[in-house]
Homo-oligomer: A and B are copies of this chain.
Amino acid sequence: MPYRAPVSEFRFVLDQIVGLQQVAETALFAEATPDTVEAILSEAGKLSETVLAPLNRAGDKFPARLENGVVRTSPGFAEGFRAIAEGGWVGISANPEHGGMGLPMAVTTAVNEMMGSACLALQLNPLLTQGQIEALEHHASPEIQALYIPRLISGEWTGTMNLTEPQAGSDVGALRSRAEPNGDGTYAVSGQKIYISWGDNDFAENICHLVLARLPDAAPGTRGISLFMVPKFLPNPDGSLGARNSLSVVSLEHKMGLHGSPTAVMQFDGAKGWLIGEEHKGMAAMFTMMNNARLGVGVQGVSVAEAALQQALAYAQDRKQGKTPLGATSIIDHADVRRMLGVMKAETFSARAIALACAVAIDMARATGSTDWQARAALLTPIAKAFGTDIGHEVAHLGVQVHGGMGFIEETGAAQFSRDVRVTSIYEGTNGIQAMDLVGRKMMDGGEAAYRLLQEIEDHARNSRANLPDLAGDVWAAAEALREATEWLVAQSADDRNAGAVAYLRAFARVLGGHYHLKAALADAARLPLARIAIRRLLPEHAALLAQLREGAADLYALTPEALAS
C-alpha cells in the first residue's frame, strides 16, 4: 500500500513530547515557527509520498550496477534525487549563508524519516551529503566551504564518507591510506576504502569524497589520522569542473538489501585532495559528521519501522481469515495480530521520540552553547542509533509475520523492509560499538548526564501519579532501577561495562520509551491504550536487561572458543 507521511504524528511528538518550542524560542532557530514547521513537514511528506515511495521497489529489483567503471543507478533514482535537491531537503539544516534553510535538526530528522520510509536506498544519498555539509561547516576553510557547500546543497554535487579499509573497520585507527603533500598545499591521497555508500552515481556532476588518511609524519592509531576532501573531478575556483581525479570505483557489493544504494570499493591512486581541519585531527572532524550521521541512521530504522507498520496494518485490515468474538474476520481482529501491530506502533513511537529528543538536544546545544544540552545530545545519540535501528529490524520482522506467507514473497514489499533495514544496525558504527560508546565515553562524566535525564523522568512520573498512577509508578520504578544500574555500571571495569553495554543501552531506551509514552497518554487520552502496551508489556524487559548487565564479563571470558566450537 502507498506510504502516507505521518505529519500529524510528527507535530504531536515535536510539540507535546520533545519540546520543539524551546528550540523555536532561541535566536538561532526563531524561524522555526509552528506554521513554518507544518509547511515544511507537509511539503516533505508530499514529496515522499508521491515522488520517492514509487521508486522503492525499483531500487530493490534493479540494483545500482557498475558499467565500465561508471555506476548506473536504479530506474527513477536520478529524478528522485533531483526532486529532493530542488525541494531544498539536502540543505535543510545547512547555514543560510551557503544556501541552506537553517532549520533545526529536529525538523530535518522528521523530514529524513519520511524520505527514508519512502525510499531508504535513495535517502541515504542526501543523508550522507547532509553530514558532509556539516563537517565542512565546522572544519573546512572559507574557500572550501564557499566552493563545495552551495553545490552540495543544490544537488549538483553529492558527498561520501571514506573511513573503512579492509583491515580497519570498527578499529578506524588501523587505517593505512596515505596522503603525501604535493608542495602546493594539496595532497596526493592513496589507498583502498571499502563499504563506501553512494561512492559514485550518475546523477551528480561531481562526487565529493571525504577521506581519512595518514600524513607521512603521522603517529600510529587514531591520533595520526587526517581528513581530506578528494573530489571525483577537480573543481576550478568558479566551480566549473576540470580534470578527472585519480580515483575509481573498483567494484560494487552484492548486498542483502538496500540494493538501490551502490556500496563501493574505492581506489585512490595519488588522488588530489585538500586537507579539512588540522593535520592529524581528522578523527575529530569525522566525528562531527559521524555523530549526526549516527542520529540519521537511527532515524533510518524509524523510517523502515513506520513504513513496515503502515503496510502491515493495511494488510491486516484487508486480509480476511477466520472468525473472532468481534464478529469481523479481518486478521487485525485476532488478538495476536493486534498484539503485533500494537507492539510495532508502540516501538515506532518510542524510537521516533528518542530520535527527535536527541535532535532537539543537538539544536539546543547549538543554539545555546549549553554543555548540559551537549551532554544530553551525546548521551542520546548512541541510544537513538542503536535502538532506532534495532526497532527498525524488529518492526519489519513483525511486519513480515503479520503478512504470513505473503510476507516471504518479495512482491509484497514487507521482505524488502526487513532486508533493507538490516545494514542500519551495522553501518555508522555497529550497535555494539554504539553501546560501548554509551557505557564508555558517554559515562566519562561519572554518569552525570544520565542521572540528570533520569531525574527528569522520575520527576515527571512523580507528577503524573495523580492522573495515571499505575503507568507513572511503573515508569518511576524502571527509571530508579536504571539509576541504580548506572551507579553500578560507572564503578566497573571497561570489560564488565562492555559485556553489558548492549543490554544497558536497550534498558535505557525502554525507560525513555516508557517516559515518552506516559507523556503521550497524559497529553492525549486516545493514546492511553498504546501507552499501556509500551509500559505494561514492553517496559518490564528492562529488569531482564539489567540482570544481564550485572553479570559482567567473567562468564563470557570463561566461555572459551573451544567450548563455543564443541
Interface residues in A10-67 (C-beta closer than 8 Å to B): none
Question: How far, in Å, is A251 (CB) from chain B's closest CB?
Answer: 11
Mark A87-128 against chain B: 1 for CB-CB distance below 8 A, else 0.
Answer: 000000000000000000000000000000000000000000
What B residues does A466 contact at CB under 8 A?
none
Contact A536 B563, beta carbon cutoff 8 Å: no
**Does A456 belong to the interface (CB within 8 Å)?**
no
What B residues does A537 contact at CB under 8 A?
547-548, 551, 555
Question: How far, in Å, is A254 (CB) from chain B's closest CB?
Answer: 5
What B residues does A180 contact at CB under 8 A?
none
Interface residues in A499-554 (C-beta closer than 8 Å to B): 499, 501-502, 526-530, 532-533, 536-537, 540-541, 543-544, 547-548, 551, 553
**In the complex where A164-B405, A540-B547 touch, is A559 in contact with B321 (Cβ < 8 A)?**
no
**Does A385 belong to the interface (CB within 8 Å)?**
no
Report the nearest B residue to A494, measured CB to CB: B325
Contact A547 B536, beta carbon cutoff 8 Å: yes
How far apart sit A560 and B345, CA to CA, in the bound complex (Å)? 12
**Does A426 belong to the interface (CB within 8 Å)?**
yes
Contact B564 A345, beta carbon cutoff 8 Å: yes
Contact B397 A426, beta carbon cutoff 8 Å: no
Which of B336, B502, B561, B566 is close to A498, meaning CB atoms less than 8 Å apart?
B336
Contact A556 B338, beta carbon cutoff 8 Å: yes
**Does A415 belong to the interface (CB within 8 Å)?**
yes
Question: How far, in Å, is A65 (CB) from chain B's closest CB?
Answer: 15
**Does A138 belong to the interface (CB within 8 Å)?**
no
Contact A336 B435, beta carbon cutoff 8 Å: yes
What B residues does A553 contact at CB under 8 A?
335, 338
How far apart sit A198 and B565, CA to CA, in the bound complex (Å)? 34
Question: How far, in Å, is A560 (CB) from chain B's closest CB?
Answer: 8
What B residues does A337 contact at CB under 8 A?
432
Question: How far, in Å, is A433 (CB) from chain B's closest CB?
Answer: 8
Mark A332-360 against chain B: 1 for CB-CB distance below 8 A, else 0.
Answer: 10111111111001000000000000000
Contact A495 B335, beta carbon cutoff 8 Å: yes
What B residues does A194 contact at CB under 8 A?
405
| Copies, count | 2
What B residues does A141 contact at CB under 8 A?
none
**Does A401 belong to the interface (CB within 8 Å)?**
yes
**In the complex where A8-B566, A170-B322, A432-B337 touch, is A533 in contact with B547 (Cβ < 8 A)?**
no
How far apart sit A240 and B527, CA to CA, in the bound complex (Å)? 67
Report the nearest B residue to A474, measured CB to CB: B547
Q: Give the interface segment out of A210-218, A223-231, A406-414.
A: A406-414
Question: How far, in Å, is A525 (CB) from chain B's closest CB?
Answer: 11
**Does A195 belong to the interface (CB within 8 Å)?**
yes
Interface residues in A293-324 (C-beta closer than 8 Å to B): 309-310, 313, 317, 320-322
**Does A449 belong to the interface (CB within 8 Å)?**
no
The 3 A-B pairs with the shortest beta carbon distances in the complex, nearest first, are: A256-B415, A529-B558, A335-B499
> What is the interface of chain A, defined by CB distance below 8 A to chain B?
8-9, 164, 167, 169-171, 174, 194-195, 253-257, 309-310, 313, 317, 320-322, 325-326, 332, 334-342, 345, 393, 397, 400-401, 404-405, 407-411, 415, 418-419, 422-423, 425-427, 430-432, 435-436, 494-496, 498-499, 501-502, 526-530, 532-533, 536-537, 540-541, 543-544, 547-548, 551, 553, 555-561, 563-566
